[in-house]
Structure 1
Amino acid sequence: MQNTQGVILLSVERARQKLYRTQKRYGVLSHPKVIEQSKILDELLNQYYCKKAVCQ
């Protein structure tokens, strides 16, 4: 399970960096592309915490 968490954490970091770049490019947090990337990051974070807590 540790390896899976590591892969998810790597994906989280990449998604976070992409979110920062997207926000910088479009300049506002309410731009649809920024919101879309934020949702992707949220989903990855949910996956990570669910695996860590052994969600059902």
Structure 2
Amino acid sequence: MKTKDGMKFDIERERNKLHKMKQRYRDFNHPKVLEQSAVLDELINQYNRFLREDKPIA
């Protein structure tokens, strides 16, 4: 299982890829940009689930 810091690193790496793809294709609606955006969304969702599960129950 990934650590919190490892997940944050992956998110930043994929965010940078998305930014570079947006510059390259000059369009957020390009299929490759949309695909990368979905990859980033999924990582962010995984991170948020990790944070919810990691919290102690009061």
**What TM-score, normalized by structure 2, do the two folds share?**
0.86
Please identify runs of 4+ aligned residues in structure 1 that moved more than 4 A. Answer: none
How many residue pairs get aligned? The number is 54
CA RMSD for the aligned pairs?
1.8
| Structure 2: tracts of 5 or more residues without a match | none
CA positional deviation for 1:5? 1.1
1:6 is aligned to 5
| Structure 1: tracts of 5 or more residues without a match | none
Which structure is higher in helix share?
1
Counterparts of residues 18-37 of structure 1 (less than 5 Å): 18-37=17-36
**What TM-score, normalized by structure 1, do the two folds share?**
0.89
